[in-house]
Structure 1
């Protein structure tokens, strides 16, 4: 196991670690008898209580354990008369693969695995459950609950990292019951992870393979600022070679010629890194190709942790924003129906990560200027120029806490443009048009005070109002040129998810990477990773179940 990377179990999820929560008691299911039981091996309630006492389990953790065995009338789950059950063997493989795939030493219980391996290798017949066998059964159940807490719910508390999308809800007991009930468990179907997580996991394993080949050689741009079709040289050869190492299927050799095939590969790579697809080799592309494999692996792990937090996506229509990608997508089930560029908050005014439902569209909106902007920008400008409000098409509507309340009237120069899209939230964030259209030509678009500016707001309005016949494209265009606000309520609210992913697999099956514009990756790395070169280890908190 590599020493440069250890995953720490920082925050066990609530259904395992929270000992203050009152857990409802499940009554013993006496309908399960020796005649209909899967195995005749059963626990003695005193054996379980001695285990709970010996492990010093908290109240809720102990109750989860009691409830699980009450629901099966104390019948063994992991061990039958002939040794480990098929479900236990599935869990053994699942756990072992997780430890290998994620280099996660906290999920490796060597003693437990040795006992399981011994039972798998030898022919065994158990007629009754002695204290040693009962201890192994209970230990396996406890280990399963800990595994679910980390492998599927995530190790880090998202709220600590300013992620306010409601966390995916999991029931370890329900997952265990489903595993026990299935005789031919298909792990891909059983694991409670989304498709994007599975795709990132495949890429993680691919990058581990790359890592085994050693650090790759740095590519130098040389004396030229860029290379285009027809150019030759060492840089061209090394770029071709790097694409081959990364698995590019377009290229067949590492010749030093810049041909049309290489140009196509360069364009594809530029898109995967979030750059304009010029087809020329330049400093930005060389920088991305020189990122060490280790850093890419860490970025994949960070984003897989985020994927663990994501709730199940609702069926039908939804809007998803990815801040580091500067893109908004409208999904219809699994298909992208509409996409557009966006401008997000600058580093000092970060766009918040959260979810809600889009309910209203406001054409020709007023801009009620936030008090913070009035204080820092508008008041100083008013002091310098007595005609500032009139020149900016603004007006004062009152005072609050000693500050004037200022709003900007509808018009071409309104900072919200000609339309805004509202999804109620305490962060005062919404989608809106903008008169500053030139910003969408920039590759990196973090310029706003926190709200999200849209490159094609009229198209979004037309799409969302397609089921309201009176709102034709012509009528929408007229409403966007009004001198008064016009509010329109959607027939059905549309879920909105504002997310932050710096690695993902796109609809073409290509791995994408983006810059960590707000430093969220760095904060997550401090929670997730421990390098042997960075001093003493942080303490590890193990869930008590």
Structure 2
């Protein structure tokens, strides 16, 4: 169908101007471009808008071509599948294309490659929802017809660099990738460390291997000291901080496991981290909350700076409890919340207890309202036909604690307090049914209310003492981003790594490799 339209358009362009005109107004190059572009409507519309004039060859095309090839030469540095675009092949194709048909086909092929590269570097190589159904991020998309026009009309080098994520997180990950590659070229991190505990009083091969590995990783100055001294203890403590471990200065089982992670695996985490930053390549709200599920930590950002942070507990590593990744908007908080028990928890966990006469802390409701449990024979019901819902009233034992922070979403995920405080001291905190339990819930509430009241603590306390469920709207809604970043670099240059509690990173890495990203790409 489009080919017919293109042919009609060309026929119109071929119309001569005046009875004596003999030369067509459409050149063989324009005709070749129109034919080659007909397979893709976006590309066809772009070329129709410029009467099928070329972008990549002819007068004024040199800077565009040079800027694109310059970007492709760095594609591997960005963790992109360089083979998709293949700068060397492009250069050879330009040398070989001499007739109009070949040049027209190459012109359109260049635009296709450019749009593929632009999509990859600005929004990600793979679709996160295809990798894992719990990664439900809305990846930013661009209007490529508009973008191609801007590329042609503007500074091509500035445009290409503007495709890269502007986040400092992305730039710092690029530097860490380069650092790891340079370390790999000089021999890597050395031998792994054996044993179960290396600490004060240890000696022998394990201490030497630990010292050498800490030196290569940048945590310890090179020396001939073979004892586990104060300097090594300080280095281990710094390593533990950067890897989310209890900083006790002793290389125990968990610390040695992290120290022995291969350099190649850390490179894989960086590649995944770069892709995840591309998925988030969009302006974030001046004030927003970022919950890092891999780190089990939450942050409040104001104008790009962290103004509050807290440890959190996130969903357990089971298919029905893993906390999804998504972005939403927090609109309000609820003080003294009722807990509306989710259906899955009601029938799978509480129905057996109700049959035994337990779960006395819960209220039971039908569609008509609250019902008396003494009038119900729970043994008559199964998980499939149980007709009631359960609620837990406000109080010291309420599963949501004293406050919950709401950003209504289809997964029924929110942040909340909890009466169970013991889990916050763990190194890995994946224990909830899916929601995010906050380590410092009252402090978070005060922080979020501070812009709209001069007395956030006393205002909150008054509502809390009432014992009644109370909704407090946020005058300025706050963006909430649940992400899964197992690798990042701090503004001071300290690389941080965490585990992969849900196994999502390995899925992303495999998808990237399937798309052509090379983990062991050689560098000249």
Class of the TM-score when normalised by the shorter of the 2 chains? 0.7 to 0.9
CA distance in 1, matches of 2:515, 2:92: 28
Residue 226 and residue 189 in structure 1: after superposition, are their counterparts in 2 closer, same or farther (change >3 A)? same
Match of 1:522 in 2: 506
Match of 2:439 in 1: 455
Residue 516 and residue 92 in structure 1: after superposition, are their counterparts in 2 closer, same or farther (change >3 A)? same
Residue 214 and residue 448 in structure 1: after superposition, are their counterparts in 2 closer, same or farther (change >3 A)? same
Residue 49 and residue 176 in structure 1: after superposition, are their counterparts in 2 closer, same or farther (change >3 A)? closer
CA distance in 1, matches of 2:226, 2:147: 54
Which residue, out of 28, 32, 35, partners 1:50? Answer: 35
CA distance in 2, matches of 1:453, 1:254: 47
Contact 2:72 2:82 in 1 (8 A): no
CA distance in 2, matches of 1:130, 1:523: 45
Which residue, out of 211, 216, 222, partners 1:240? Answer: 211
Alignment of 1:110-509 (within 5 A): 110-116=88-94, 130-160=100-130, 161=132, 162-183=134-155, 185-186=157-158, 189-195=161-167, 196-214=169-187, 216-222=189-195, 225-228=197-200, 232-248=203-219, 251-253=221-223, 255-348=225-318, 349-385=321-357, 388-390=358-360, 392=361, 394-398=362-366, 402-469=386-453, 471-509=455-493
Match of 2:57 in 1: 79
SS of aligned partner of 2:479: strand
CA distance in 1, matches of 2:34, 2:160: 35
Provide the TM-score with structure 2 as the length reference: 0.82
SS of aligned partner of 1:152: helix
SS of aligned partner of 1:428: coil
CA distance in 1, matches of 2:163, 2:229: 45
SS of aligned partner of 2:294: helix
CA distance in 2, matches of 1:189, 1:94: 8
Residue 232 and residue 116 in structure 1: after superposition, are their counterparts in 2 closer, same or farther (change >3 A)? farther
Residue 172 and residue 238 in structure 1: after superposition, are their counterparts in 2 closer, same or farther (change >3 A)? farther
Q: Following TM superposition, by how much is the alpha carbon of 1:454 offset from its aligned partner in structure 2, in angstroms?
A: 0.5
Q: Following TM superposition, by how much is the alpha carbon of 1:377 offset from its aligned partner in structure 2, in angstroms?
A: 1.5
SS of aligned partner of 2:502: coil
CA distance in 2, matches of 1:402, 1:133: 70
Q: Following TM superposition, by how much is the alpha carbon of 1:237 offset from its aligned partner in structure 2, in angstroms?
A: 2.8
Alignment of 1:63-102 (within 5 A): 63-81=41-59, 85-99=62-76, 102=79
Provide the TM-score with structure 1 as the length reference: 0.79
Moved more, 300-309 or 63-72: 63-72
Residue 184 and residue 150 in structure 1: after superposition, are their counterparts in 2 closer, same or farther (change >3 A)? closer
CA distance in 2, matches of 1:448, 1:527: 28
Contiguous gaps of at least 5 residues in structure 2? 3-8, 14-25, 369-384, 517-524
Contact 1:371 1:403 in 2 (8 A): no
1:46-68 deviation per Cα after TM superposition (whole angstroms, max 9, x unaligned): 21233246xxx2xxx2x222232
SS of aligned partner of 1:201: helix
SS of aligned partner of 1:358: strand
Contact 2:403 2:417 in 1 (8 A): yes
CA distance in 2, matches of 1:137, 1:472: 62
Residue 89 and residue 403 in structure 1: after superposition, are their counterparts in 2 closer, same or farther (change >3 A)? same
Tell me how large the CA RMSD over aligned residues is.
Answer: 3.0
Contiguous gaps of at least 5 residues in structure 1? 1-18, 20-25, 31-40, 120-125, 533-545
Q: Following TM superposition, by how much is the alpha carbon of 1:109 offset from its aligned partner in structure 2, in angstroms?
A: 5.9
CA distance in 2, matches of 1:92, 1:475: 59
Contact 2:68 2:160 in 1 (8 A): no
